[in-house]
Structure 1
Amino acid sequence: MTKTNSEMPIFFAINDAYVPCLTVALHSLTEHAAPASQYKIIVLHQGLTPANQAKLQALSTANVAVTLMAMDEQLEKQINDQSNSLRGDYFTYTIYFRLFIADMFPQYDKALYLDADIVVETDLGDLFAEDLGDNFFAGVADSYMNSDDVMGTYAEEAVGVPREDYINSGMLLLNLTALRRGQFSQHFLSLLNQYHFASLAPDQDYINAMGHGRIHYLPTAWNVQVRNTGDAAATPHLVHYNLFRKPWHYSDAPHADFFWQEAQRLPIYPDFQKSLQAYTATDRQTDLDKLAHMQQLGRDICAKHPTFKEIQAQTGSVAL
C-alpha cells in the first residue's frame, strides 16, 4: 500500500467553497470505515480559513486521520500560467493537482483521489486492494459521456477515446509508482505547453488521453454518478454528485437519499436545507444554459485544431 506502512492515503483538493460538501464526504467515509482499516486523509487546499481547517481536522477518528496541506507554491507557479489555456468550461484551479500527487508524495505507492461532492457507502479497503498491474489509474466510465451523444462524440473525436472507455476523474485509484516511472506529470506539462489543447474537462481529458490503454476499469458501484441507474445505483459503494444536479440544489436530484442520510447527522444540515430552499427557478435555468453551452463547446472543440486525437494520430506522443 505504501512504502512505510499499511495506511491508505486518500486525497481531496478543495477551496473554502467545498468545505460543506467535504464535511459530508468525510463523515460518510468515517462512518463506513472498518475498525481494522487505517486511512490518511490529505486535503490539498487553496488558502482555507483557519476556522474551516479546524472543522475538517475535527473530523478525524481513531482510524481516519485528517490532515491539511497548502498547495506547494512552486508547483502552483508551474501550472498557474493563464497563457497555458487553463480554461475548461468548469475549470477549477485545484483539479490539476491530482496529476502531481505521485511527485508530491513519493512515500506512497498507491492512493485514492476523490472529489468533494461524494458520499461513501462502504469501507474502501476492497477498492485499495484492486490489483492495478502496470496501469496508471483505476476508474469508472463517465456516465454523461456514455449517455449523451454530443459528449460521446466529443470523447471520441476530440479526446480520441471510445466513449465507453472515457472515465470520470472524480474517483481515481492512482498507481503512484507507475505514474512516477512513466513521468506522467512531466509529460502532462509538456503537452500543455506545446499544444494548448482546448478542453471541456481539463484534467479529466488529459487523464483519458494520456492514460488510454493503461486504465483499469472498475464496476460502476465505485463511482455512481447522477446519470447512472440500475443495480449499481441502488446499492452503490460511492455516490458522486457530478455536474449540476446537487441534492442541496435540487429536491429531485438522483441518488439524493444517500446524501441526506449523511448530512442530517451533521450540524451543517440546516445550511444545506437553506441552500436547497434558496435555489431558484432562475438558478436552475442557468444550470440548463450552462449544460447547453458545454455541449456547444464540445461541438466547437471537435472542429478546432489540434485535438488530442489528431496529435496522437500524427505523432503517437499523447498516450503513454
Structure 2
Amino acid sequence: MTTQNTIPVFYTITDNYTPYVGVSIQSLINHSDPKKDYTITVMVQDISDEHKKQLEDLATDNVHINIFHIDDKLLEPITNIKENYLRGQFFTLSIFYRLFIPELFPEYDKAVYLDADTIVNTDIVDLYNIEIGDNMFASAPDLSIRFMPPLQKYIAECQAIFPTDKYINNGVILFDTKKFRDKKFIDRFIHLLTTYQVFALDPDQSYMNEICEDQIYHLDKEWDAMPNENMAEFENPKIVHYNLFYKPWHYEDVQYAKYFWDVAKNTPFYAELKKQLDSYTDEDRKQDRADLDKMVEMFGEVKKADNNWANIKAKGEQVKL
C-alpha cells in the first residue's frame, strides 16, 4: 500500500477524549467505501493501553488506525500561559497538534483533519476530493459565532479580519499539506508564537485564520454543522460538529444528537457515554453557561492586550503568508 492510494484522516486528542473520537471513527467507517483504502491517524501525547487497543480494534480490512505519539520536543515553544488557553478555559496542547500534520507526515500532499467531537454522515472521500484551487486549506465558516454580536465584534476588533463572516472553524479541515510545507507555514507559526504568544479566544484556530487569510477555501456549511440555538438543523449534514458546550453526552436535547447516539450504541463506548449523560447535573450545565458567558466577556481583556492580532498587524508584522 502506498500513500498515493489511501485517504489520510487525522484526529488529535487527549486520552480522556478517547470515547468521543472512537464514536467519530466508527461513523467514518460506517460510511466508508469497501473498495477504497483509508488511514486514520490519532495524534496523542499519552494514551492508556486500554484506550489504545479500543481504538485500534475499530479497524477494518480497508480502514487502518494508527496511534501516533507526538514528540514533546516539537511542542516545547507552546507554553502553558493564558494566551494559549482554549477559549479562556483550559490549556491543552492537543489543540495545536493539527498545525504540525503537514510537517510530520510529508508522505501526504492532501489530508483531512477532524475534531474528535464530530460525526461523519457521508464517505469522507467526498470531502477529500474537493478541489480547493490555490488555497492552503478548506474549512467551513464558523457558524458558532455568526449569531453572537460580541464575538463578531471580537473578530473585527481583536483579529482585524474583514468581513467577519469569512472567519472559519477548524474542526473540519481539508489540508493541502504540500502548500503548507512549500510556504513554510510552521516557520511563520513558530515565529509568531514565540515572538508574541498571541492572545486569542481560540489560539490554534486564530493562527490558521490569520496566517492563511485569503488562501482559505470555504466549504459548504453542511460540512461543519454545529448545534446552534439560533438556527434550525440542516436537513442533511455531511459532518456534525458538537462544538463548544453542545455535547450529546452532556445534554439530551442537543441538535443533531440522534446522529451521535445512532453510532455510539454500536461501539464499546456506549455504556460509558450513557453514564456520562445520566450523571451530568444541572449544576454542571449551569457552569457550561457561565463558561460561555466568560468566553464572551474575555473580548474586553483581549481587546486591551498589546499582543492581540489586530495590534500585532498594526505594528507592521507580516502575519499572512
Superposition TM-score, scaled by structure 1 size: 0.94
Runs in 1 of length 4+ with deviation above 4 angstroms? none
CA distances 1:206-263 after superposition (whole Å, capped 9, x unpaired): 11111110000010111101127457x2211100001002111001111101111111
Asked if 2 retains the 8 angstrom alpha-carbon contact of 1:40 and 1:66, the reply is: yes
CA RMSD of aligned residues (A): 1.8
SS of 1:145's equivalent?
coil
Equivalent residue number for residue 140 of structure 1: 140
Q: How many residues align?
A: 317
SS of equivalent residue, structure 2 residue 199? coil
Whose helix proportion is higher, 1 or 2?
1
Q: Per the alignment, do residues 4 and 279 of structure 1 end up closer, same or farther by CA in structure 2, a change over 3 Å counting?
A: closer
Whole-Å separation in 1 of the counterparts to 2:76 and 2:311: 29
Counterpart in 1 of 2:21? Answer: 22
2:262 aligns with: 261
State the Cα distance separating 1:310 from its structure 2 match.
Answer: 2.8
Identity of aligned residues (%): 34
- Secondary structure of the 1:5 match is helix
Letter in 2 for 1:74: K
Per the alignment, residue 220 of structure 1 pairs with 221
With 68-77 and 252-261 compared, the bigger mean Cα shift is at 68-77
Deviations 1:37-74 (A, max 9, x none): 21110011121011111110001011110011101132
Structure 2: gaps (5+ residues): none
Give the distance between the partners of 2:12 and 2:25, measured in 1 at CA: 13
CA shift for structure 1 position 168: 0.6
What are the within-5 Å matches in structure 2 for residues 4-43 of structure 1? 4-43=3-42
1:4 to partner: Cα distance: 4.1
Residue in 1 aligned with 2:110? 110
Aligned residue number for residue 152 of structure 1: 152
> 1:66-124, CA deviations, whole angstroms, 9 ceiling, x for partnerless residues?
01110113212243x33694234244211111111111111110111111011100001
Which deviates further from its counterpart, 56-65 or 261-270? 261-270
Give the secondary structure class of the aligned counterpart of 1:305: coil
Does the 8 A contact of 2:43 with 2:69 survive in 1? yes
Output the CA distance in 1 between the equivalents of 2:82 and 2:19.
Answer: 31
8 Å CA contact 1:7, 1:38 repeated in 2: yes
- 1:74 pairs with 2:44: no
Q: How does 1:1-320 map to 2 (within 5 A)?
A: 4-79=3-78, 81-82=79-80, 85-88=83-86, 89-90=88-89, 91-161=91-161, 162-227=163-228, 229-230=231-232, 233-315=234-316, 317-320=318-321
State the 1:307 CA deviation. 2.2
Aligned AA for 1:11? Answer: F
- 8 Å CA contact 1:84, 1:192 repeated in 2: no
